[in-house]
Structure 1
Amino acid sequence: MLHEIQYTTDESLFQYLTKGDEKAFDVLFLKYYPSLCAYARQFVEYDDGQEIVQDVMVWLWENREMHTFEISPKSYLFKAVKNRCLTLISRNEIKQRIVNTLYDDQQLRYEDPDFYIVEELSRKIEEALQRLPNSYREAFEMNRFQHLTYGEIASQLNVSSKTVDYRIQQALKLLRVDLRDYLPILLAII
């Protein structure tokens, strides 16, 4: 009964709260939780509002010794909830802008006809390379993709530089024949 009399005003609740009185915190929580959730609902979804109110109340309890209120405790709680709601809204807007930017970039990429041409051409080149005899393909890839000289390739493959030259020339001839329909497209893109 004595505690109930002591908790009649918000100021007394907050005084006991700052001293670590758990009962005062429980009374404060039960008193304001529903109205703070309803207030938060004006700004954010119900679930987000509940989470924000719970965060504010937990923060209030964990930092109870540091509180000196320049405004009424009730006003403090509502202001804290509003500020956290606005912070959440701001974060969500930033996330949405990032998502929109990424989506727009992807849309532009896929709407660009060159994207599909390059994809198709890359696939055709890979298929043509796979059809080359292994010795031609190996020499060609070492030269064009690994940027090795004929001499470096020759020493790795234990063949002469002339053999490397011949294999690369033969690979180029076969690729020209295999990709003849795509050469105009390749030249247009480059």
Structure 2
Amino acid sequence: RQWIREGKEYGFGELETKAACTEPLKSLINPDAPEFVPAGDIPERIRQFCQKTGQPVPQSEGETVCCIDQSLALAYRKAMDEIRACTGKQYPVIHLIGGGAQSGLLCQMTANACGLPVVAGPVEATVYGNTMAQFMALGELNGLTQARRALADTLHTVVYEPRDREIWEEAYERYREIL
């Protein structure tokens, strides 16, 4: 929104392309930091956060979006580690649903950061979930297993396999230091 206020209008795909063309893992933020909660000039706050933490400051829209996506992916890794610690379980795959599933870059970065395949989609997961709940309530489906199978048979998903594990492990250590 800030860039729109500045007279720069980008489509989602254009921003993702700009981000994919930048040097990865150069700058990281804590997406849960209090300074990112209120609305406002988030790109400027990202620059300030990077400057405050002694990192290269994103200069372009692509560098800023790349910083956001890779930081989100590393935050997902942290959440996954916490869930594993709480449950004592290992999980073979991550399902990324909703709006974030539209970003191939975010999905690939999440697979890289977590070291697990990411199954992306559906984007409209809430609608499908509500529909399946209604079918179950009407007796048209015999429970969650059948609903999941019906969705898996009809919806398009994309699988992203992890890559570049070593550099993402190093980035995760840097990310944890920033926290």
**Structure that is richer in helix per residue:** 1
**Structure whose alpha-carbon radius of gyration is higher:** 1
User: Do they fold alike, i.e. is TM over 0.5?
Assistant: no
What band does the TM-score fall into relative to the shorter chain? under 0.3
In the superposition, the TM-score normalised over structure 1's length comes to: 0.22
